[in-house]
Amino acid sequence: MSKKILVVGNGAREHAICKAILRSPQDAEVVTISTANNPGILDLAKEVYVVDSLLDFDFLKEVAQKEQPDFAIIGPDDPIAMGASDALLELGIKSVAPTKSLARLESSKSFTRNLLDKYEIRANPDFRVFTSEEGMMEYAESLGKIVVKYDGLAGGKGVKVQDDHFKTIEEGVRYAKECLRELGVVVIEEKLEGQEFSAMFFADGVSLKKMPIIQDNKRAFEDDKGENTGGMGTVSDVSGSLPFLTEQDTKEAEDITFKVMQALEKECGERFKGIMYGGFIATKNGVRLIEYNARFGDPEAMNALCLLEGDFVEICEAVINEGLDKIEVGFEEKATVCKYIVPEGYPENPVKNKAVEIDYDRIPAGIEIHFASVDEQEGVLYLKGSRAIAFVAKADDIYMAEKMAEEACSSVKGAVFHRTDIGTRTLIEKKIKHMKCLRA
């Protein structure tokens, strides 16, 4: 009997999710709710419903009642944080996404820091949650260098780091006070040094199944310079880890996530069913948590899902029905490199509505193309102002995958750019050297 899956979202992550569903050996079809005509999703979905906002839960329920999906997968952070899963549960439709209460893991930085503290999960940096300005400057000065975290969803731009986004403690505290005035709460924490990595897990509230470890390159420009973005590209290795991490690093990330999953049930009275995605940093003193996300990463979903060997539909059903311990979740032993094509001026002042052209004959065999913030009109692709097209290469090592991804990127003509250094030997070896120096 055919299964119908509702996918909420219209980016490259959701394009990858749709592909993974349709690779299932089960007879499955996809319907989606989007805010744009993503050409990749249009090619795959049986039905695409376009809406002005993914936070229009009346529309979500109207589509769900009409289509009666077996389950839903909610891609982006905002609808998860605002209760899309809860809205669907009112109709008896379960989701691969947590409820609004559990989604505070991502949507509230203070909730997560306090959760780890309360349940004695040793992964926090030194931090303090402020609900008034009292003691703010003194605490910030005691840390040496600081990170200021807006206590809500801000598209990755609410976190500001000393030396990257501001120079002095005074500037950082000024930003913290702005956050405080806006939200009534702000987090100030120590700046950590090390290498960041993404550890994503399928979670059913009782058990976890890990995905390959991935590193996102968030800075806009070569050599990790420039503003933070949603992610310019990602790398994973054949080993399932990364060349600059130890086995202990990845084990700590998994142990922390399992304890956090258990703590969430104690704190919220319900089980987390979806994707637990920890942004961690390996430091000289072990692994520390930067933040959790309550959904697949973008670009990380593209690396992980192109390697997935199991039945994605079966895995999703196991997440929903607390059956992950009963199934195998395997990943191909290959390296992957994902590179994003973005509009000129991104992220601060991107060009929009400019045509781009892909020379498909120049794309190496085996490359996966995922469409993101583009619109297709009469066969022509137009930039919509954010990350536009992702190319994912899979090979026997990172450097082979990087060459393939770079060749694919050169196929795109228009007012665009990408980071040519992601996955290169120069950048990877720099990170290996960095960690060796820190650990020494």
Q: Flag whether pLDDT at 217 surpasses 50.
A: yes
Nearest of 369, 373, 392 to residue 382 by alpha carbon: 373
Q: How confident is the model at residue 165 (pLDDT cuts 50, 70, 90)?
A: confident
pLDDT value at residue 420: 98
Q: Is the sign of the CA dihedral 165, 166, 172, 174 positive or negative? A: negative
Summarize pLDDT for 82-127 with one digit per residue, the tens. Answer: 999 999 999 999 999 999 999 999 999 999 999 999 999 999 999 9
Number of CB atoms found within 10 A of residue 429's CB: 12
Q: Flag whether pLDDT at 284 surpasses 90.
A: yes
Burial class, 27, CB count within 10 angstroms (exposed 0-12 / middle 13-18 / buried 19+) = exposed
pLDDT more than 70, % of the chain: 99
Rounded average pLDDT over 171-183: 92
Q: Flag whether pLDDT at 294 surpasses 80.
A: yes
Whether residue 323 contacts residue 204, with contact meaning beta carbons closer than 8 Å, is answered with yes
Question: What whole-number distance in Å separates Cα of residue 172 and Cα of residue 162?
Answer: 7
Nearest of 406, 413, 412, 396 to residue 427 by alpha carbon: 406
Residues 6+ apart with CB under 8 A from 349: none
Query: What does the mean pLDDT of the chain come to?
Result: 96
Summarize pLDDT for 197-209 with one digit per residue, the tens. Answer: 999 999 999 999 9
Q: Which CATH architecture has domain 3-95?
A: 3-Layer(aba) Sandwich (3.40)
Q: Flag whether pLDDT at 5 surpasses 50.
A: yes
* Token pair recorded at residue 37: 């005509």
Q: Flag whether pLDDT at 156 surpasses 70.
A: no
Rounded average pLDDT over 219-245: 95
Summarize pLDDT for 417-436 with one digit per residue, the tens. Answer: 999 999 999 999 999 999 99
Q: How confident is the model at residue 155 (pLDDT cuts 50, 70, 90)?
A: very low
Q: Flag whether pLDDT at 393 surpasses 90.
A: yes
User: Strand, coil or helix: what is 286?
Assistant: strand
Question: What whole-number distance in Å separates Cα of residue 171 and Cα of residue 146?
Answer: 11
Summarize pLDDT for 246-283 with one digit per residue, the tens. Answer: 999 999 999 999 999 999 999 999 999 999 999 999 99
* Token pair recorded at residue 172: 């950082």
Structural element, H or E, at residue 22: helix 12-22
Nearest of 149, 191, 194, 186 to residue 167 by alpha carbon: 191
User: Strand, coil or helix: what is 29?
Assistant: strand
Q: Does domain 126-190 have CATH number 3.30.1490.20?
A: yes
Question: What whole-number distance in Å separates Cα of residue 264 and Cα of residue 74?
Answer: 20
DSSP-derived secondary structure for 59-122: HHHHHHHHH--SEEEE-SHHHHHHTHHHHHHTTT--EES--TTTTHHHH-HHHHHHHHHHTT-T
Question: What whole-number distance in Å separates Cα of residue 131 and Cα of residue 187?
Answer: 9
Q: How confident is the model at residue 154 (pLDDT cuts 50, 70, 90)?
A: low
Superfamily of domain 195-427: ATP-grasp fold, B domain (3.30.470.20)
The model's pTM is: 0.96
Summarize pLDDT for 24-80 with one digit per residue, the tens. Answer: 999 999 999 999 889 999 999 999 999 999 999 999 999 999 999 999 999 999 999
Give me the residue label for tokens 């998994």: 254
Sorted by where each begins, the domain ranges of the chain are 3-95, 126-190, 195-427
Question: What whole-number distance in Å separates Cα of residue 341 and Cα of residue 128?
Answer: 38
Question: What whole-number distance in Å separates Cα of residue 284 and Cα of residue 102?
Answer: 31
Summarize pLDDT for 7-21 with one digit per residue, the tens. Answer: 999 999 999 999 999
Q: Flag whether pLDDT at 157 surpasses 60.
A: no
pLDDT value at residue 153: 65
